[in-house]
Structure 1
């Protein structure tokens, strides 16, 4: 399979304000992949409801957040005509295939998923079944389109490994039926991760050891994609640092999480590597890095915030894009599901 024919699937949850971590870790990469891959980009609203309503906000907030993620996709440069942009709940294949995968995946596999442990915390007995089975739905999201590649952050690599395990077990368990259906090598591909470039894991501006998160109670911990220029500059000025001058080597950067985070953010926004950015600031004070980072962040993010604001004022336009994308996504997923039903022996 040539690179041009590789199919990428990925999605972003609509659970509150999008931030710089979402942009650098996901959306910016989505934009870059458009030139080399067939791309399907989803707003994963079914995933959003796996946690308590206090997290996803209820019906009005979910609808608003779904449109906001779509606006961020478009404002960042994703082309909904050349590629597919839709929200997950509009394509029934996701839910149908997720149930089949609930019956393929093993409880022991899910028990190893660290993200469930992190999100459920000490309250595991009161967590939803949806949160526990979330990785099976993620597998269905990918495999309903027989996607070959998935851009993932470090925290999602484990889920992608599970997706590969589910695909492989399905192929082995149903080998005879797959062969009869015309797939002697197995029906589902084993999708590969795409993890490239700096800042795949963006950390909090208030604690370089914690991931940047919309759930952090301090708004100073993150840069929201809707922040204006003054707010972006203020948050970067207030970012946590250490007392030493900036390091001169990658080795000296170890054990300095705040320095690594701010330099990594600069590198990612500049489309550079940490190794090439480090000499620009070696031996200098954090204040100089913060000023340069603030200027760069404002330059890169302010146009996105402005375009998002315009798009959010045109709800019908966003909804039309999601509807068109869902129809095109369903045109890919439904033939896949027809084969899955035939392989499983479901009478239609």
Structure 2
């Protein structure tokens, strides 16, 4: 049996910046917040859905990998995905950290503890936006970026010398009312192949039970809403060179401060997990991240872009160790204040 979520929350948000959606859907996996050792926000890639964590336990010896690691995993549907309302003016670096902050406050997380963040693939820019935003940079205790895109220009991900990344950058720089329907069509065809034509186990392997097909179908469906325009905005924000950070912005209080300076200022430990067989995110981009952030550790795994689905326990074991260390440091700091 695949694990089930602990609870679901449809939260109303204050529109403190223009791109904040009216409501967001937050799904809790693993353990209840008050019973967990660690609270972790998980940012999905594309396609993306709050149902995805049901598949994370498939290759684990545990029935529920997050429950076993004493984690309360909070998944926020991106604007326009799943049950979260659509806002065309959503801008990743400006708005996403504010969304996370409001969710943490409403669920009682921000008042009691710091939390971890992790993201996969196109969730990588969401991790980096959270770590560099003035509101959250002191509220996050550790992060994991898994096969994640970072800044497409500064990291070298986008290159005119690479036909695939050049095409990707150009496509995601087009108006979203053009790319949205094509993106939705591509995911619809992918859904047909994966769910109905046998591609599910062909892509993921025989260890993934057939009961996971409805989960994958829901993941695809949640990503195709509103003619695919939210999905295109999601890609645009993370993969278009037009939306990358300005190299000339040296303002440390700006959400658009240039990537090198912003990433060098990240003080919390960040684990980077990238596959040596990944054809989507070049290892050179991961190595740039590791060299730029002062407390980053790069793990190179013999895997492809689906790394997290096949190495979940290995990754979470290491992430929990780092989260535990962060808690110990917080306890030491509190003790010294008491003295």
Q: TM-score interval w.r.t. the shorter chain?
A: under 0.3
Structure 2 length-normalised TM: 0.26
* TM norm structure 1: 0.26
**Per residue, is there more strand in 1 or in 2?**
2
Structure (1/2) with the larger helix percentage:
1
Relative contact order, CA 8 A, sep 6+: which one is greater? Answer: 1
The structure that has the greater radius of gyration is: 1
